[in-house]
Structure 1
Amino acid sequence: MKSIEIERAEAITWIRIQMAQHGLALDDLQAAGCFAEPPPATLPGAVRYRNAHGQGWDGRGAMPDWLQRAVHAGQTVEHFRVVSTT
């Protein structure tokens, strides 16, 4: 059984290799939101993001097609965040 320290070191090595192979720098990962704070926990199934057509997403699992298309077109995910009135 591997220790947590060994598994952590192996994960770091793997990440460094992937970054080198793909020409990525820390700035690239930060710009992609890799280190952003996770969204706050909400009730299961509560919609966090919604578009003008009423399509919603709770922020869990794969990003829905409608939101992927919007992001690829230059919009931010946060643009679709549902603002709580409570």
Structure 2
Amino acid sequence: MDERKRDSMVAYLRRRMAEFGIEPDDVAASIAADQERLQAARYRDAAGHTWDGKGAPPQWVVQVTSAGQSLEHFAISKTTEAKSASSGAVNWRNDPFAGTRLATKPQEFAAGA
């Protein structure tokens, strides 16, 4: 995104925030609350819905358990996530060959084809 588009988007967002009385601190507090909620989550489905295991189960939990799926299938393992995030996972966004034949057909080039 070029700088002019970015400035235009920022101006638009500031105008809309002023229109609805939203302060930057409100946005920051909302983001922090979302992060806390995600960190407290004990269960997550494929669509990204989460539940901390407290209170009444949300609709997605009721549906999957009614269908016979184990709730433990959706358990989030904090240690596994921490390991996979710190295990040197490849960041494909910085791959200079992404989208080229070098990325999709390595066996051809390795064999000298």
TM-score of Structure 1 vs Structure 2, range by shorter chain: 0.3 to 0.5
Query: If you compute each CA radius of gyration, which structure gives the higher value, 1 or 2?
Result: 2
Higher helix share: 2
